[in-house]
């Protein structure tokens, strides 16, 4: 007391006002930065025990200094009673806020709201509000608060988040002894009656200190007994070995670790090493893939039971073949009889015409048609044609696509290229049907006869030759490698040209939900939310992992907040983008009954690239002997002048572009030997009907140039039941029409909400995906997309 400059006796109310006016610590303070450093040191697997101890002690010493400084006693300046106060607004404005509060609460609570506002006004408690409705406590304006939200939350229990300023509002009501009947929310009354709000502030400070000193104690204990409580001696040894870049076995496989352990005279079996590696993301994500393995045979019941179809791209020879750019190929699975038709484009009209001529050729028709996921087969007109013909259609879900017709394509192209070499030409349209006739008359090794000789009388013999051994073989000898409930990653082999050093397996972990006894066996999987994954998976496409820690990778922490005595983090999930992102909910949602959800509001920046990283532009002037790819800078090209500069080459006399003013259509003029290729969004913007066209002659495009694509945003959500859109079913939430000018921030509120059935009863994440009309990502150049979802019970009049 001898160093005290002045002693002042103050009331508890004045002390609370002094504490309340103290500046709130920001998220980026030194204390929080040091807290993160303490946690990082403890969790760093690359540091040995001695280094961890040294670094932790140094950081903790700095943390103690800064924490003491941040919590030093208040310096209060005694002022006379006439000091200025925050003006809450004139009487008219206060009455306006009062009316807003009373009008916002349900009719059953209007009387209580009136009494509560009257009690606040009758006490000089330092509690008031500004002319904008913001709460004032002890002359301090609580930014972001509003009396309407605070009063409603005090009147009744709601499902929405806690309003800003509720802690200060509850403390102030407790000081003026607000009666129980005016506080309808039992949680708020409990805080007022027991002083929970004041205790939380103290509890957070104490718990932070306890947490750090407890961590230090546990760490010191672990150092002394070699991680008895955290890690076994084998785990410690393997971690030090695996994560040390200088060790020969660092980040290696089972064999490398076994050899290193043997040199150190440690007896660790391959099984234990494998189990340990299954819990390490660094290993499981980058484990080498096996792409070639035995797969299930395609077994059909008879002739014309199933056909496979595909489209062969021969656009490089279109000029020598009267403009024909594609070949439609079909093959019957049992008889191996094949058909082919040349096409000038792959529009629905051309594909339907070619397929109709195939059906008429020998008056044959398949029961089912099997293709890949090409748009030439999935479009609505072609699907309608198949339904009219009573032909069942399905597609492949794996990377091998339609394997039988793919093998036939290789045979056909081998014949064509040998013909090209022998005759010094690239013209095939005149001899295409001759190739087919020769193939169908030739002895086929797999069926033991020529395809044209297979008919309904000998199909049983052919079937026995193809599948007899497979069907009679005892499938029980193929044991299941995975058990129901196992957690696995699945391969990403379906991505073309994927580099071997990149992650080869999904970051998401799935659960084995079903096993099908085939030769070889296959499995059904479900994701984290319990949704079944489409298709089946071979053992070689799955990898067992250990995911006991429930730890998931994030990209970064955006901000923190303290709620109900615990720290919560607002994070950006790994691989989240503006176009597609997954949101972790504050608490899981569990629904009872049938619910629907719809898009109520969307906020997005109307600023995206019409030329993105996937766009390509290549050209040649020597007939395709050498191609040059021009560098394209992604961005928004808003005028044709910008487009012409983009398309300009060093061969202006060979390649010219002309825009017709009246039709806005682009004309491409090419000299002999000059070709141009486009890919991606650039082709669509210029007016091409295909995504990767090759132009080999003068042409005027059918569609006008459109620089302002896309005109619609397709909003998808993973928690809704798929609905029918054209030829397929997708989890589409709504189609948003783009009307505003480029560069604006758009906010659209929908009064006519389109509701869709919620397919999951329980979920804790929601994934949104924004695409254009052809399924491409919308390449936003800045900002974020924010959506508001509305849930309601089916056949109910009330919204939640």
Residue 597 in contact with residue 720, Cβ under 8 Å? Answer: yes
Same domain (yes/no): 3, 127:
yes
Quick: pLDDT tens for 154-207.
877 776 667 888 888 888 887 777 777 778 787 777 777 665 444 344 444 444
Question: Strand 140-141 vs strand 755-757: parallel, antiparallel, or unpaired?
Answer: unpaired
Quick: pLDDT tens for 221-278.
344 433 333 456 777 788 777 777 777 777 777 888 888 888 888 888 888 888 788 7
Alpha-carbon distance of 100 to 112, in angstroms, equals: 14
| The pLDDT of residue 578 | 63
Same domain (yes/no): 32, 180:
no
- List the one residue out of 344, 389, 341, 343 whose CA is nearest residue 363: 389
Give the CA angle between residues 383, 389, 392 to the nearest 5°.
60
Residue 236 in contact with residue 276, Cβ under 8 Å? Answer: no
| The pLDDT of residue 73 | 61
Residue 553 in contact with residue 574, Cβ under 8 Å? Answer: yes
- Does 642 reside within a domain? yes
**Taking all residues of the chain, what is their mean pLDDT, rounded to a whole number?**
75
Same domain (yes/no): 12, 110:
yes
Same domain (yes/no): 683, 733:
no
| The pLDDT of residue 90 | 47
Neighbours of 593 (CB within 10 A): 9
DSSP 3-state of 561 = strand
Q: Which domain holds residue 698?
A: 616-704
- Does 104 reside within a domain? yes
Q: Which residues of the chain have pLDDT under 70?
A: 1-30, 50, 54, 61, 65-94, 122-125, 159-161, 193-232, 281-299, 396-402, 467-478, 492-504, 507, 519, 528-530, 534, 547-559, 568-579, 691-692, 727, 795-800
DSSP 3-state of 257 = helix
Same domain (yes/no): 107, 4:
yes
Neighbours of 710 (CB within 10 A): 19
- Does 268 reside within a domain? no
Residue 738 in contact with residue 709, Cβ under 8 Å? Answer: no
Total-model pTM: 0.38
Residue 359 CA to its chain's centroid (Å): 42
| 3 state SS for 402-459 | CHHHHHHHHHHHHHHHHHHHHHCCCCCCCCHHHHHHHHHHCCECCCCECHHHCCCCCH
Residue 329 in contact with residue 408, Cβ under 8 Å? Answer: yes
Same domain (yes/no): 9, 109:
yes
Alpha helices in 278-425 (DSSP H): 281-284, 348-361, 375-378, 380-388, 403-423
Quick: pLDDT tens for 302-350.
888 889 898 988 888 888 998 999 999 999 988 889 999 999 998 889 9
- Does 467 reside within a domain? no
| The pLDDT of residue 83 | 37
How many domains does the chain contain in total? Answer: 5
- List the one residue out of 643, 560, 771 whose CA is nearest residue 39: 560
Give the CA angle between residues 326, 328, 331 to the nearest 5°.
150
- Does 483 reside within a domain? no
Same domain (yes/no): 649, 781:
no
Q: Is the peptide bond before 223 cis (omega within 30 degrees of 0)?
A: no
Same domain (yes/no): 144, 1:
yes
Same domain (yes/no): 396, 310:
yes
Give the CA angle between residues 66, 68, 72 to the nearest 5°.
120
Same domain (yes/no): 82, 93:
yes
Residue 143 in contact with residue 129, Cβ under 8 Å? Answer: no
- Does 250 reside within a domain? no
CA distances to 218, 575, 610, 611, 751 from 715, in Å: 49, 18, 19, 21, 17
DSSP 3-state of 636 = coil
Same domain (yes/no): 603, 729:
yes
Question: Strand 368-371 vs strand 306-313: parallel, antiparallel, or unpaired?
Answer: parallel
Alpha-carbon distance of 37 to 39, in angstroms, equals: 5
């Amino acid at each position: 007391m001898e160093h005290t400059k002045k002693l002042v006796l103050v009331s508890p109310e004045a002390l609370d006002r002094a504490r309340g006016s103290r500046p709130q610590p920001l998220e980026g303070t030194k204390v929080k930065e040091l807290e993160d450093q303490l946690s990082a040191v403890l969790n760093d697997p690359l540091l040995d025990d001695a280094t961890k101890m040294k670094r932790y002690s140094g950081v903790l010493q700095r943390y103690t200094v800064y924490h003491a400084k941040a919590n030093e006693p208040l310096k209060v300046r005694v002022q006379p009673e006439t000091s200025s106060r925050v003006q809450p607004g004139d009487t008219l404005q206060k009455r306006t806020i009062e009316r807003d509060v009373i009008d916002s609460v349900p009719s059953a609570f209007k009387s209580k709201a009136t009494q509560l506002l009257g009690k606040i006004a009758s006490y000089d408690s330092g509690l008031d509000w500004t002319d904008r409705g913001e709460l004032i406590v002890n002359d301090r304006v609580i930014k972001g608060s509003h009396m309407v939200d605070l009063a409603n939350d005090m009147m009744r229990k709601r499902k929405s988040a806690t309003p800003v300023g509720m802690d200060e509002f509850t403390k102030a009501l407790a000081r003026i002894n607000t009666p129980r009947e005016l506080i309808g929310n039992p949680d708020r009354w409990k805080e007022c009656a027991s002083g929970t709000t004041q205790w939380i502030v103290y509890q957070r400070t104490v718990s932070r200190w306890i947490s750090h000193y407890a961590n230090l104690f546990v760490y010191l204990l672990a150092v002394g007994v070699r991680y008895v409580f955290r890690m076994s001696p084998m785990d410690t040894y393997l971690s030090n070995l695996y994560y040390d870049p200088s060790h020969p076995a660092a980040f290696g496989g089972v064999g490398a670790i076994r050899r290193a352990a043997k040199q150190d005279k440690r007896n660790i079996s391959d099984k234990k090493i494998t189990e340990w590696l299954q819990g390490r993301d660094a290993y499981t994500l980058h484990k080498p893939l096996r792409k070639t393995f035995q797969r299930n045979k395609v077994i059909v019941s008879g002739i014309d039971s199933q056909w496979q179809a595909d489209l062969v791209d021969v656009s490089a020879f279109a000029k020598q073949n009267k403009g024909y750019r594609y070949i439609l190929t079909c093959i019957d699975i049992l008889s191996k009889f094949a058909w082919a038709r040349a096409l000038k484009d792959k529009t629905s009209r051309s594909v339907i015409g070619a397929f109709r001529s195939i059906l008429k050729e020998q008056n044959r028709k398949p029961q089912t048609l099997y293709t890949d996921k090409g748009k030439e087969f999935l479009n609505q007109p072609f699907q309608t044609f198949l339904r009219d013909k009573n032909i069942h259609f399905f597609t492949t879900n794996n990377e091998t696509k339609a394997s039988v017709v793919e093998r036939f394509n290789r045979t056909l192209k081998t014949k064509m290229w040998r013909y090209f070499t022998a005759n010094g030409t690239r013209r095939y349209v005149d001899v295409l049907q001759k190739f087919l006739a020769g193939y169908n008359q030739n002895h086929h090794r797999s069926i033991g006869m020529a395809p044209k000789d297979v008919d309904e009388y000998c199909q049983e013999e052919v079937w026995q030759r193809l599948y007899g051994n497979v069907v009679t073989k005892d499938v029980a000898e193929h044991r299941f490698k995975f058990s129901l409930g196992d957690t696995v990653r699945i391969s990403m082999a379906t991505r073309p040209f994927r580099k071997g050093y990149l992650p080869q397996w999904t970051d998401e972990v799935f659960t084995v939900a079903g096993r099908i006894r085939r030769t070889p066996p296959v499995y059904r999987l479900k994701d984290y939310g319990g949704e079944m994954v489409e298709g089946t998976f071979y053992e070689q496409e799955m990898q067992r992992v250990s995911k006991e820690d429930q730890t998931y990778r994030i990209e970064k922490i955006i901000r923190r907040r303290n709620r109900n005595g615990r720290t919560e983090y607002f994070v950006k999930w790994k691989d989240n983008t503006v176009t597609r992102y997954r949101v972790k909910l504050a608490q899981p949602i569990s629904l009872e009954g049938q619910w629907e959800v719809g898009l109520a509001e969307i906020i997005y920046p109307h600023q995206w690239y019409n030329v993105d990283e996937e766009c390509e532009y290549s050209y040649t002037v020597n007939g395709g002997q050498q191609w040059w790819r021009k560098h394209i800078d992604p961005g928004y090209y808003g005028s044709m002048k910008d487009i012409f500069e983009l398309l300009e080459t060093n061969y202006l006399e060979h390649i010219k572009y002309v825009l017709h003013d009246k039709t806005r259509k682009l004309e491409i003029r090419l000299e002999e030997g000059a070709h141009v290729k486009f890919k991606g969004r650039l082709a669509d913007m210029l007016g091409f009907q295909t995504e990767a066209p090759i132009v080999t002659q003068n042409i005027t495009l059918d569609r006008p140039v459109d620089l302002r694509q896309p005109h619609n945003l397709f909003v998808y959500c993973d928690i809704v039941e798929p609905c029918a859109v054209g030829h397929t079913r997708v989890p589409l939430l709504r189609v948003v029409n783009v009307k505003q000018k480029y560069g604006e921030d758009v906010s659209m509120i929908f009064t006519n909400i389109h509701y869709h059935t919620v397919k999951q009863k329980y979920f804790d994440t929601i994934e949104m995906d924004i695409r254009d009309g052809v399924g491409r990502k919308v390449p936003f150049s800045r900002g974020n997309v924010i959506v508001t979802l509305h849930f309601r019970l089916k056949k109910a009049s009330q919204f939640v």
